[in-house]
Amino acid sequence: MAYQIVDPSELAVGRGPHPAASPFEKRVGEAIGVTAFGLYQIELPAGEETVPHDHRDDRAEDAYAILRGSGWLVVDGEEIAVEPGAFVAVTQESSRHLRAGREGLVFIAVCA
């Protein structure tokens, strides 16, 4: 097939192979057949957060695109507010995780 289209609302939620896999992620990359990088949609309910992690050992890079809701990116203990439309990258050495605000937080994570 020349292309693959997936509606994330039709994907199961659960932990993928990423070292900081979240029980709130949808493995979009697997569903569309992407193998060069991880592609996830994470749907955090209000007050929930992803797993704190860094990429010192595996040298992977993470980038996030905030879609809906609001919350905080926590980098090395510093909380930075994030809202829809924001794109975020964090250095490999820094510990990071995302925490949802009152209305939850939906974002895309690309891991390569």
Nearest CA to 111 out of 47, 18, 22 is that of: 18
- Report how far residue 95's alpha carbon sits from residue 110's, in angstroms, rounded to the nearest whole number: 16
pTM score > 0.95 for this model? no
Structural domain spans, the chain: 37-111
Walk along the chain (112 residues) and give the pLDDT tens digit of each residue: 689 899 999 998 888 776 677 889 999 999 999 999 989 999 999 999 998 887 778 787 889 999 999 999 999 999 999 999 999 998 888 888 899 999 999 999 998 8
CATH of the domain spanning 37-111: 2.60.120.10
Return the SS3 of 81: strand
